[in-house]
């Protein structure tokens, strides 16, 4: 039963990652591309880490949880900084 739940989590995470990649390829503006990557990728990461943690013992599952939480805390900040840098490059200078 745990293997089935793990497989379902892997499939959901993989589908979300593919949707994120399609959004990066299909959307026109740079900001829309960052938005597609910034929303779907962390959710895909959670599902894939959840599926991986179910297949491991408690110690390894805990390490996967630490990795997932640290990436979830840092990924929005990284995407926000990318938004700011692109916004500054695309807008005229305000000096």
Question: What pLDDT does 28 receive?
Answer: 86
Answer whether residue 69 shows pLDDT above 70: yes
Q: Is the pLDDT of residue 94 over 60?
A: no
Q: Tell me: the pLDDT tens digits for 27-42? A: 888 778 888 878 888 8
Domain layout of the chain by residue ranges: 2-90
Q: What is the DSSP string of the chain?
A: -HHHHHHHHHHHHHHHHHHHHHHHHH--SHHHHHHHHHHHHHHHHHHHHHHHHHTS-HHHHHHHHHHHHHHHHHHHHHHHHHHHHHHHHHSPP--
Provide the pLDDT confidence category of residue 93 given band limits of 50, 70 and 90. low
Q: Record the pTM.
A: 0.77
């Amino acid at each position: 039963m745990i293997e089935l739940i793990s497989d379902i989590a892997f499939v959901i995470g993989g589908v979300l990652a593919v949707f994120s990649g399609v959004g990066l390829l299909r959307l026109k503006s740079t900001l829309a591309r960052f938005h597609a990557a910034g929303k779907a990728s962390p959710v895909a990461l959670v599902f894939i880490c959840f599926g991986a943690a179910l297949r491991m013992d408690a110690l390894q599952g805990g390490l996967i949880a630490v990795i997932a939480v640290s990436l979830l805390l840092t990924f929005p900040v990284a995407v926000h900084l990318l938004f700011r840098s692109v916004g500054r490059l695309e807008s005229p200078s305000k000096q």
